[in-house]
Structure 1
Amino acid sequence: MHGPTNKPGQTENLPDSKLMPEYLKDLGYETHLVGKWNLGYSRWNATPTFRGFDHHLGFFNGHVSYYDYLTTHKVDGKDYTGFDLRRDTTPAWDLAGQYATDAFTDYTVKTIEKADGSKPFFIMLSHLAVHVGNEGKYLEAPQETINKLKHIDDSNRRTYAAMVSKVDDSMGTIMSALLKKNLLENTVIVFVSDNGAPSIGVSHNWGSNFPLRGIKSTLFEGGIRSVAFAWSPLFVQTGRVSLELMHVTDWLPTIFTAAGGDLGLLEPDLDGVDQWSSLQYDLPSPRDDILINIDEITRNAALRFNNWKLIVGTTSNGNFDSYFGDSGKTNIEEQSYNTSAVADSPAGQAIKQVTYTPLSENEYISSRRQATLKCLNPKAKRTPCTPSNGEVCLFDIRIDPCEENNLATFLPSVVRRMKRAMVDYRAGLVPQQARTVDIEKAAPELFQFTWNPWLDCGDAECKA
């Protein structure tokens, strides 16, 4: 359950609960956060190196520009602009001019290279890409990467694709570094996005959720379903496409178990469940339901129960609840899927050297086919659902991932059961924090034009 993310100058911070890096430190891990924080920084004790991370290279706010690391925030018609890149607690002015994806990758590689094998490490690399930057230059990528994608007609879409390509390069570089240090055989890699693309609206990034319905901030599949994979030589069966249910909260108990932790040491009443056996041995997920969200302010909620998904209410008056096509209706020259490029990539080569049975190029095609979403047959019956009109939507996501056929009137018993489950979840809801903005006291010009914790101004570190 969540509300809006923190804005510059907002006084509220992440609540005081034990985080994954703190649990892993209990197991002897060295912990690093690279990239985005966006969980509040009004006081130093709310920032990453005071919340379980030994080191942090990254930014406090929700976004920055990709080269100059400036964050601009407009309040009452006035722009507040400051530098937002830190190495632990110190502004990293020396990295200005270096492309963010490369800077974060370089730091991650150097961290891996310094590992001496005596201490395990956890790195959370939270790339800025492919989030938009500041107004006026939402998308940025190295020109040489953009030039490789001339088959994409729309210039914005081409730059977006170049940003994705740089993330691909990052993954390959990191895999190669782990291989070179002989660490890959005992590593778990999780790659996951936090939401679907904001294809339209404010701060849209020219990403695509096609053929899914909705965008970021909606509870339709286009807003919540995203690209993800987990890889490790510790998995008994590799190269499979899973349709099992898993929630973001499951990563804490799952990774804690993978690291050798005892689940009894975790705080009681966690929302997450341990999925390690499901991942390692290809067993069914221990979940049969997922609370997607309950927003008590917008009165919008969604729940999964096995293959069923219930949506009640909407956001933004339903303006983003439709289908928005393949991102901007651009012309893209058809490109064949190059399995050899995948196999010969740095990541592909690294996997071959530590996996007894690496996938063949034909198996790449098979996995890609399994992972490709298919909407209902064009001839199939459809009953549309418009939650902004007060309708309750019930979809069978396994056969209708594009959410085209509302079954609520045909299966009232399923709707009643899921509504009761929502009421039970609602009883444990923690209300959203009030959003208190203190922008005049947090203004970057008071802190050498950096975004800085401002409520600890008696602190030597806080002084301009």
Structure 2
Amino acid sequence: MTGKWDAGMATWEHTPMGRGYETFFGYYHHANDYWTQRLSDSDLHGDICGNLVDLWNTTGPARDRNGTAYVEELFTENTLGIIQRHDPAEPLFLFHSFHLVHTPLQVPASWEQEFGFLTNDAQRKYAAMTAYMDDVTGKIVRKLEEKNMWENTLLVMSSDNGGPTYNIPSIGPGAANNAPLKGGKLSDWEGGVRVNAFVSGGAVPLGKRGSILKDFVHMADWYTTFCSIAGVDPRDEKAAKAGLPPVDGIDHSQLLIGDAKPGSGKRTEIHHSARALLQGQWKLITGGIIDLEILQRDNYSDAQNFGGPLIPYSDYLTGYEAPPETLEGLRSMEDCSAGCLYDVFNDPNEHEDKAKKHPEVVAELKARLKELNSGIFHKYRGTADVAGCTPWNGFYGPFIDTGLHAVSKPATSTEMFV
């Protein structure tokens, strides 16, 4: 694995290595500096621990060559190196998780200059970062072609959420543009949950290439789909013994690379959140996030009461030069306390609320949403622990029962890419 993890690192079991990856070069948090790899002083962990460096190489902290490299350059080199050294006769699962295009908005000057015609600073940087990511994707494809692996590869490209259209003082402008979809990241509007995704590679049958798949595919389905392709059982026996719910994923392998026809997908609904449900053509929204302070603490333990009736980002804005927002009042909020209903097949931009015209659908979806919410795993994330500041001498990393930190030292880029 290369790049962004953002899924826990308190213990080794939480890390990519604890989840089965053989190697991991990347970072654990979600918004470290692209040049210094440090967490921001304004970040929650920065407030507690100071300016920790967040860069890791499998079993210990890592440093780039001279502390000035653009982190995506390091990630690209790592991924290309993995492909170059790989024996094509063996299977390969490679996860390249870009830091791009997440905040902070940072990109090499040469890339930004290409978009000098964009006068807005955030818009210019966002466009340049997107172009950089596109270029890296091309390099990865070309390396697979050079190794004669492309014709046997399934490439999946997907965003994890809609583009941010916020302009929060502590974060800055999101600078994304989801138009004509409504809203963006941090909301259950289509602009926040309907994302860019595609599959490519020689594994895709000729008859399916260039087609548009309108079947529902949820982010949780990728794990189950990949397990099916690899011939691996997706069940998590350890989690089951601990009383955790089963993996929430559907196998779409036949829909993507098999004989299944478009429209025959097995997923009929998407449980977007404790406040929103998509079932067939109908989408119900019952509330949204209005307490960003809770959001920033990552406290999702009370899913039933998370947020209120007002849904933020109820707009179609580009995100560029949007008015400042505060924790107390977010731009363009819509009241869905009674339940808002949209026909996303015929009205994907969510212009017309059909709740009053179809009260029976609202009632049915509310009942189903309540049923699904009863199975939500309410995770307790605990409180900040200063013990996490010390094990790795200024680096962000596992701090509970690590067993290795006393003898480990930061790896250099030379060691990294051998």
TM range (shorter): 0.7 to 0.9
Q: CA deviation at 1:462?
A: 7.1
Q: Which residue of 1 aligns with 2:320?
A: 328
Secondary structure of 1:161's counterpart equals helix
The question of whether the paired residues in 1 share the 8 Å contact of 2:288 and 2:312 is answered with no
Is contact 1:199–1:324 with CA below 8 Å preserved after alignment? no
**Structure 1: gaps spanning 5 or more residues:** 1-32, 133-137, 295-300, 331-384
- Look up the equivalent residue of 1:71 and give its one-letter code: L
Distance in 1 (CA, whole Å) between partners of 2:217 and 2:36 is 37
Alignment-derived partner of residue 302 in structure 1: 276
1:116 and 1:394 map into 2 onto residues whose CA distance is 52
1:59 maps to a residue whose letter is Y
Partner of 1:143: 109
In structure 2, do the counterparts of structure 1 residues 463 and 232 end up closer, same or farther at CA, with 3 Å as the change threshold?
Answer: closer
State the match for 1:217 in structure 2: 186
* Alpha-carbon shift at residue 225 of structure 1 (Å): 1.4
Q: Check 1:214–1:304 CA distance in 2 against 1; reply closer, same or farther (3 A cut).
A: same
Q: CA deviation at 1:412?
A: 1.4
Which of 369, 372, 380 is residue 425 of structure 1 equivalent to? 372
User: In the TM superposition, what is the alpha-carbon distance from 1:321 to its structure 2 partner?
Assistant: 3.1
Q: Match for residue 141 of structure 2?
A: 175
Deviation at 1:78, TM superposition (A): 6.2
State the Cα deviation string for residues 279-322 of structure 1 (Å, max 9, x = none). Answer: 2244321111111112xxxxxx1111111101111111636232
User: Cα 1:188–1:102, aligned 2, differ >3 Å: closer, same or farther?
Assistant: same
* Alignment partner, residue 162 of structure 1: 128
Alignment partner of 1:192 out of 154, 158, 162: 158
Q: CA deviation at 1:217?
A: 1.5
1:292 to 269, 272, 275: 272
2:72 aligned with 1:92:
no
Normalised to the residue count of structure 2, the TM-score between the two structures is 0.81
The whole-number CA distance in structure 1 between the counterparts of 2:148 and 2:46 is 54
Q: Tell me whether 1:393 sits opposite 2:340 in the alignment.
A: yes
SS at match of 2:39: strand
Q: SS at 1:326's partner residue?
A: coil
8 Å contact from structure 2 (residues 2, 25) kept in 1? yes
Shift in CA distance, 270/44, structure 1 to aligned 2, threshold 3 Å:
closer
Matches within 5 A, 1:288-367: 288-294=268-274, 301-316=275-290, 318=310, 320-328=312-320
Alignment map for 1:39-118 (pairs within 5 Å): 39-72=7-40, 73-74=43-44, 80-95=50-65, 96-118=67-89
Other-structure match for 1:28: none
Q: Which amino acid aligns with 2:375?
A: G
Q: Does 1:227 align with 2:196?
A: yes
User: Residues 45 and 386 from structure 1, CA distance in 2 versus in 1: closer, same or farther, beyond 3 angstroms?
Assistant: closer
CA RMSD of aligned residues (A): 2.6
Structure-2 change in CA distance of 1:238 and 1:77 (3 Å): closer
**Partner Cα separation in structure 1 for residue 201 and residue 128 of structure 2:** 27
Q: Distance in 1 between matches of 2:53 and 2:46?
A: 21
For residues 371-386 of structure 1, the aligned pairs below 5 Å read none
Q: 2:356 aligns with which of 390, 409, 425?
A: 409
Larger relative contact order (Cα-Cα within 8 Å, sequence gap ≥ 6) = 2
User: C-alpha offsets along residues 4-61 of structure 1, whole Å, 9 cap, x if unaligned?
Assistant: xxxxxxxxxxxxxxxxxxxxxxxxxxxxx11111122122332211221100000111
Cα distance between partner residues in 2 of 1:414 and 1:327: 33
Q: Does 1:252 pair with 2:223?
A: yes
Task: Give CA deviations for 1:330-363 in whole Å, capped at 9, x if unaligned.
Answer: 9xxxxxxxxxxxxxxxxxxxxxxxxxxxxxxxxx
Aligned length: 365
CA shift digits 1:223-273 (9 cap, x unpaired):
111111111322221101121111111112211222244678998943211
Query: Residue 149 of structure 1: SS of its match in structure 2?
Result: coil
Residue 448 (str. 1) matches residue 386 (str. 2)? no
Alpha-carbon contact 1:215-1:320 (below 8 Å) kept: no
Deviation at 1:90, TM superposition (A): 2.3
Kindly provide the amino acid, as one letter, of the partner of residue 388 in structure 2. Answer: A
The answer to whether the 8 A contact 1:453-1:462 is kept is no
Distance 1:309 1:457, change over 3 A: closer
TM-score scaled to structure 1, two decimals? Answer: 0.73
Q: In structure 1, give the amino acid aligned to 2:387.
A: K
Secondary structure of 2:160's aligned partner: coil
**Paired letter, 2:61:** P
Quote the Cα distance in structure 2 between the aligned partners of 1:443 and 1:188.
40
Going from structure 1 to structure 2, the CA distance change for 1:326 and 1:88 (only over 3 Å counts) comes to same
What amino acid does structure 1 have at the position aligned with 2:32?
A: V
Query: Per the alignment, in what secondary structure is the counterpart of residue 303 of structure 1?
Result: strand
In the TM superposition, what whole-angstrom CA distance separates every residue of 1:80-100 from its partner, at most 9, and x where no partner exists?
Answer: 211111111222213432212
